[in-house]
Amino acid sequence: MKLDANVDGHAAKFQADNGRLRYERDGEAIEREYSIASLGAQSYSVLIGGRSYSVVSANGAIRVNGRAFSVELFDPRERRGHGPGGTGEGRQDIVTPMPGKIVRVLVAVGDAVDAGQGLVVVEAMKMQNEMKSPKAGKVVEVKTRPDATVAAGEVLVVIE
């Protein structure tokens, strides 16, 4: 699995395959063996390179050993509606980067939104990700609802 990410405002990349984790950020890469065990609702024990981490995911943030990080994850194969290049003109579709469940819809048709404003919270792989507006504009369509199951690349909100 390969994912692009935004971690506390920094672009990053995650890759997890066959017990190996690779994390790249600011030109540096770390690669280690890892394992993960669920401790309950959105709480995990993660072993990376023999070191233990307590991870809790809630409301678009992740706490690692008590330290909070703002994290957004994106499938690099489906980048529409994400990232710094998303300030284009015209209609923009906000899509989910991976299959998941809609936890909350934060906007309604007709709402004015600012660039970076949260639109929808999607739970995928037991992590909640807030889908944000790539530009200031107006919500012209909301194509989902809370508790809906969505597929990767599915349009959730349209901004104009």
- Tell me: the pLDDT tens digits for 17-34? 888 888 888 788 999 998
Taking the C-alpha atoms of residue 123 and residue 102, their distance in angstroms, rounded to an integer, is 6
Looking at the domain assignment, is residue 135 inside a domain? yes
Task: Give residue 34's domain range.
Answer: 2-73
67, 102: one domain: no
97, 56: one domain: no
104, 67: one domain: no
53, 108: one domain: no
Closest-CA residue to 75 (of 10, 19, 131): 131
66, 104: one domain: no
HEC assignment per residue over the chain: CEEEEEECCEEEEEEEECCEEEEEECCEEEEEEEEEEEEECCEEEEEECCEEEEEEEECCEEEECCEEEEEEEECCCCCCCCCCCCCCCCCEEEECCCCEEEEEECCCCCCEECCCCEEEEEEECCEEEEEECCCCEEEEEECCCCCCEECCCCEEEEEC
99, 154: one domain: yes
Looking at the domain assignment, is residue 116 inside a domain? yes
99, 68: one domain: no
Domain boundary among 73, 107, 130: 73
65, 7: one domain: yes
Taking the C-alpha atoms of residue 47 and residue 32, their distance in angstroms, rounded to an integer, is 10
Within 8 A by CB and 6+ apart from 67, the residues are none
Looking at the domain assignment, is residue 81 inside a domain? no
Q: Is the pLDDT of residue 106 over 60?
A: yes
Number of domains observed in the structure of the chain:
2
Looking at the domain assignment, is residue 21 inside a domain? yes
Q: What CATH number does residue 139 fall under? A: 2.40.50.100
69, 112: one domain: no
Q: Is the pLDDT of residue 116 over 80?
A: yes
pLDDT in tens, 62-93: 888 988 887 777 777 665 444 444 445 578 88
62, 21: one domain: yes
What's the pTM? 0.48
Looking at the domain assignment, is residue 99 inside a domain? yes
8, 48: one domain: yes
48, 103: one domain: no
Highest mean pLDDT among 53-57, 64-68, 107-111: 107-111
